[in-house]
Amino acid sequence: MSASNKDPKRKKEFVTASRSVVEELYYPEDYQRNKEFLNKINFPGTYPYTRGVHSGMYRNSLWTMRQYAGFASAEESNKRYKYLLEQGQTGLSVAFDLPTQIGYDSDSEEAAGEVGKVGVAIDTLADMEILFDGIPLDKISTSMTINSSASVLLALYIAVAEKQGVSTNKLRGTIQNDILKEYIARGTYIFPPKQSMRIITDIFAFCKEHVPLWNTISISGYHIREAGSTASEEVGFTLANGIAYVEAAIKVGLHVDEFAPRLSFFFNGFTDLLEEVGKFRAARRVWAKIMKERFGAKNPKSLMLRFHTQTAGSTLTAQQPENNIVRVAIQALAAVLGGTQSLHTNSKDEALALPTEESARIALRTQQIIAYESGVTETVDPLAGSYYVEAITDRIEVEVNEIISKIDSLGGMVKAIEQGFVQASIQKSAYQYQQDIETHERVIVGVNKFIVEEKRPEGLLKIDDSVEKIQIQSLKKVKNKRNNSAVQNSLKKLKEAAQGTDNLMPHILNAVRVYASIGEICNILRDVYGEYKESVIL
C-alpha cells in the first residue's frame, strides 16, 4: 500500500540521489516481501549479515579511522602520517602519485609534471623505508590505494617490514588491487584483463601462505559511484567484479574458503543518508547469498562483506567549501549507520587542492565526534525496523540481483566490460544526475541555489615543482649505489616467471629487495604482457 495511492492530490515526485521514487509514508508491507530473511535479519553477526558482520559491532570495537593521505615526497607524507596518528587516527591509508599507480619511475617521460602531485612518489625500497620510518608495521594496519602495480607495492611493504624485523604473518592491511573497476571507471590500468587477473590470483595464493592477515583485495564501488552510477549500480557492478575474482581464483586451483575470508570491499558514502544506509545493508545480504549459494562457501568469514567507506569526493564543491564539512559529516554518519569496518572522511578543501593539515584534522574530528558524541555507536544497526530503511534495503537487493543477472547473461564481468555495457550504464546515470542539477531538479547548495560571491580561499596546499627534481635526483643516487648485477638478475628471473606459470610475487619481492624500481619491474611485465588499450564506446 503506497502513500502515493493514498494521496492523489500530491503532485511533486520525490526521488533519491539515484532517482528512485520516495513515497510519502512507508508501511510494514512495503518491506516484508523478503520474508525468507525476516527471522535472520534480527540478529547481527549471523547470515545473511544484513544488520552487521559482528554481533556487537561498535559496542565492541569502533571502525578503523583511516585518513587517506600522501603527497609530494616520502618525507613529507611520513610527517603527515605521524601527525594524523598523534591526532587519533587508528590506521594508515596511503595515496600514491599517478606515476606510481601506473608503474612508471619518476624520471620517465610519462611521469613529467605528475610526480608527487596527487599522492606520494614511490620509486624504490629506499622511498618506502622513508615513508614508514618510525612507524612500527606490526602495530598499525595500512591500506594502500594501488591497483595495476599493487603486487610491487605489497612487495615493498613486506620488504620494509623485514628491515624492521617484523614477520609477514603479523602484517595487517589492505591493497586495493581491484583492476576490473579501473577498466570501468578510473583508468589506472597497465596490463590487459587476462594478465591482470593472473597477477591478482598470484597475490591471493602468496598471501594465503605468507601474509595471512592481509586483505588481498578491496573490491571497489567507490570509483564506480564517483563516475556517476546509482547506488544500486555501485553495489551491483562491485559485487559482479567480486564474482569475477572469486571465479578466477577457483579456476587456478584455490578453494573458496582459502581466500574468500580475506576479500574486502570499498564503497562510496554519498549524501543521501537513508538510501546509503539501505545500500550497505543490502550489499551484505546479497554477497552472503552469492558466496553461500553460488560458490558453496562454508566458512562464515567467507560470507561476510567487510568494507571500507570513503565519503564522496564528487559531491565536494569548490563553492563555499566550508559546506563540505557538513556534507562529509552526513556521509560519514551514513557509513557508520550502515555498519562500515573502516572509514575515511574527505577534507573541506579537496575540490580545490590536496588537504591542509588543518582540514585533515577537521575531517578526522568528524569521525571522532560521530564515534564518541552522537550515540549512534551504542546499539547495533540503529535504523533496523524503519519501514523506509527496510524498504530501501529490499529495493536495492532486488535491483542489484537484476544487474548481476544481466552481467551473467553477457558472459560475466570481463565480457560485460569489453562490450562496454558497464561503462555505458554508468554514463547514462551520470548524465541524468547532471541534468537534474542543471535543471534544478536536484539542489546543490552553493552551486545552483543559495549562491554567494566569494574569493578563492587562502592557505591551500600547493606541491612545489622542486619535488619532481629532488625525487629524480634521489632515484639516480639509488640506482648508482645499488648492486645493479643483482637487479638485472632478479628482473631476468621475473621475466621468466611471467613467461611461465610460477607465482610472480616471490620474484617481485626479490627484485624490490635489491632496489629494483617500480618502473623497471612493471616494464618487464609490459614486455611480456603488453598494455591494455581502451576501446572507444560510441
| 455-472: pLDDT as tens digits | 888 889 888 889 999 999
Cα–Cα distance, 124 to 139 (Å, whole number): 23
Q: pTM of the prediction?
A: 0.92
Query: Strands, DSSP E only, in 312-422?
Result: 342-344
Q: What is the DSSP string of 105-148?
A: -TTSGGGTTTTTTSSB---SHHHHHHHTTT--TTT-EEEEE-ST
Going by C-beta distance under 8 Å and a sequence separation of 6 or more, which residues neighbour residue 352?
Answer: 318, 321, 456, 457, 460
User: Quick one: average pLDDT of 21-26?
Assistant: 82
Cα–Cα distance, 77 to 116 (Å, whole number): 10
pLDDT bracket for residue 8 (50, 70, 90): very low
Cα–Cα distance, 268 to 345 (Å, whole number): 11
Residue 534 burial by Cβ neighbours in a 10 Å radius (0-12, 13-18, 19+):
exposed
Task: Quick: pLDDT tens for 241-288.
Answer: 999 999 999 999 999 999 999 999 999 999 999 999 999 999 999 999
Q: What is the DSSP string of 161-222?
A: HHHHT--GGG-EEEE----HHIIIII----S-HHHHHHHHHHHHHHHHHH-TTEE-EEEE-H
Cα–Cα distance, 479 to 126 (Å, whole number): 10
Query: What phi and psi values does residue 485 have, to the nearest 5 degrees?
Result: -65, -45
| Total residues found in the chain within this entry | 538
Q: What is the DSSP string of 218-265?
A: EEE-HHHHHTT--HHHHHHHHHHHHHHHHHHHHHTT--HHHHGGGEEE
Q: Percent helix, strand and coil across the chain, each rounded to 5?
A: 50, 10, 40
| The pLDDT of residue 6 | 45
Q: Which of 416, 193, 437 is nearest to 314 (CA)?
A: 437
Q: To 10 degrees, what angle do helices 484-499 and 505-513 make?
A: 170
| The pLDDT of residue 27 | 72
Quickly name the fold that domain 21-438 has.
Answer: TIM Barrel (3.20.20)
| The pLDDT of residue 458 | 87
| The pLDDT of residue 68 | 92
Cα–Cα distance, 166 to 157 (Å, whole number): 11
pLDDT bracket for residue 538 (50, 70, 90): very low
Higher-pLDDT residue of 533 and 96 is 96
* Residue 310 grid coordinates: 570513503
User: Using an 8 Å Cβ cutoff, are 381 and 490 in contact?
Assistant: no
Query: Strands, DSSP E only, in 303-456?
Result: 307-311, 342-344
382 preceded by cis ω (within 30°)?
no
Cα–Cα distance, 400 to 55 (Å, whole number): 25
Query: Of the given ranges (32-41, 50-59, 409-418), which has the lowest mean pLDDT?
Result: 32-41
| The pLDDT of residue 7 | 47
Cα–Cα distance, 283 to 131 (Å, whole number): 35
| The pLDDT of residue 435 | 96
pLDDT bracket for residue 24 (50, 70, 90): confident
Query: Of the given ranges (6-10, 15-19, 73-77, 425-429), which has the lowest mean pLDDT?
Result: 6-10
| The pLDDT of residue 464 | 86
pLDDT bracket for residue 29 (50, 70, 90): confident
CA distances from residue 339 to 66, 280, 438 in whole angstroms, order as listed: 15, 7, 34
**Which ranges in 17-95 belong to alpha helices (H)?**
74-86
| The pLDDT of residue 274 | 98
Task: Quick: pLDDT tens for 103-127.
Answer: 999 999 999 999 999 999 999 999 9
Residue 58 in this model has a pLDDT that exceeds 70: yes
Task: Quick: pLDDT tens for 497-526.
Answer: 999 999 999 999 999 999 999 999 999 999
Query: Which is it for the CA torsion 55, 56, 60, 62, positive or negative?
Result: positive
Q: To 10 degrees, what angle do helices 518-529 and 505-513 make?
A: 150
Residue 3 in this model has a pLDDT that exceeds 70: no
Task: Quick: pLDDT tens for 303-355.
Answer: 999 999 999 999 999 999 999 999 999 999 999 999 999 999 999 999 999 99
Residue 12 in this model has a pLDDT that exceeds 80: no
pLDDT bracket for residue 38 (50, 70, 90): low
Residue 154 burial by Cβ neighbours in a 10 Å radius (0-12, 13-18, 19+):
buried
Task: Quick: pLDDT tens for 152-206.
Answer: 999 999 999 999 999 999 999 999 999 999 999 999 999 999 999 999 999 999 9
Cα–Cα distance, 466 to 513 (Å, whole number): 28
Query: Which is it for the CA torsion 98, 104, 106, 107, positive or negative?
Result: negative
